[in-house]
Amino acid sequence: MFEDIVKRIKAIERELDILKSFDVPFKSPILFDLPLTNTAFDGDSFSTLAATALDISTFTNAAGSTVPPNARGVIVRLQSRDSAAWGTGDLYVAVGPTAAYFYQLTCRCFGGDVWNNASGLCACINRTIYYRVLASGGNTEDIYIQVLGYWL
């Protein structure tokens, strides 16, 4: 009986050694004291725009913080509003890691110049994310994009 227990403990130790050898795919996020901003996304008005690359290394805060080059993703806060009539559907700003997957995080707005917001994780590649805007008309959707943190 004692030998069985020893064998089981050794088997568990081998499994733990194997698990320790794996790279942890998601580490704890690093949060900024102040959000990172970019003057092109601080309430500026947008028209409908196809998925467009956005270099998040251009986002900074008063402390001079930036997202490091080896970041695997960012924590983003989106805010949007559109001047369309209240209740207009399918208006949004969205971000994602590629042009094809621009909708990883989406902030919908509903017209009436009423703000809506969304916060979440967005994977990035070489400090680049993609954003897409669906607005009701020419320069009718106001947008804020802030970076709250990142993970390696």
Please tell me the predicted confidence (pLDDT) of residue 61.
Answer: 96
Residue located via tokens 């994310």: 129
Three-state DSSP at 70 gives coil
Considering the domain boundaries, does residue 91 fall inside one? yes
Residue 9 sits at φ, ψ, to 5 deg, of -65, -45
Range of the domain at 49: 27-151
Please tell me the predicted confidence (pLDDT) of residue 35.
Answer: 97
Considering the domain boundaries, does residue 73 fall inside one? yes
Please tell me the predicted confidence (pLDDT) of residue 28.
Answer: 81
Answer whether 108's CB lies under 8 Å from 143's CB.
no
Q: How far apart are the first and last CA of the chain?
A: 46
Considering the domain boundaries, does residue 10 fall inside one? no
Residue located via tokens 């001047």: 83
Residues 146, 140: Cα–Cα separation, whole Å: 20
> DSSP state, 16?
H
Considering the domain boundaries, does residue 114 fall inside one? yes
Please tell me the predicted confidence (pLDDT) of residue 13.
Answer: 81
pLDDT per residue as tens, the chain (152 positions):
678 888 888 877 877 666 565 555 667 899 999 999 999 999 999 999 999 999 999 999 999 999 999 999 999 999 999 999 999 989 999 999 999 999 999 999 999 999 999 999 999 999 999 999 999 999 999 999 999 999 98
Please tell me the predicted confidence (pLDDT) of residue 20.
Answer: 63
Considering the domain boundaries, does residue 129 fall inside one? yes
Considering the domain boundaries, does residue 18 fall inside one? no
Q: What's the structural domain count of the chain?
A: 1
- What's the pTM value of the predicted model, to 2 decimals? 0.80
Residues 34, 149: Cα–Cα separation, whole Å: 9
Q: What is the domain-level CATH number for residue 80?
A: 2.60.120
Considering the domain boundaries, does residue 15 fall inside one? no
Q: Which of 54, 46, 32, 57 is nearest to 149 (CA)?
A: 32
Q: Residue 5: which residues within 8 A CB-CB, separation 6 or more?
A: none
Considering the domain boundaries, does residue 19 fall inside one? no
Please tell me the predicted confidence (pLDDT) of residue 150.
Answer: 96
- The amino acid present at 85, given as its one-letter code, is A
CA angle at residue 52 from 46 to 57, to 5 degrees? 100
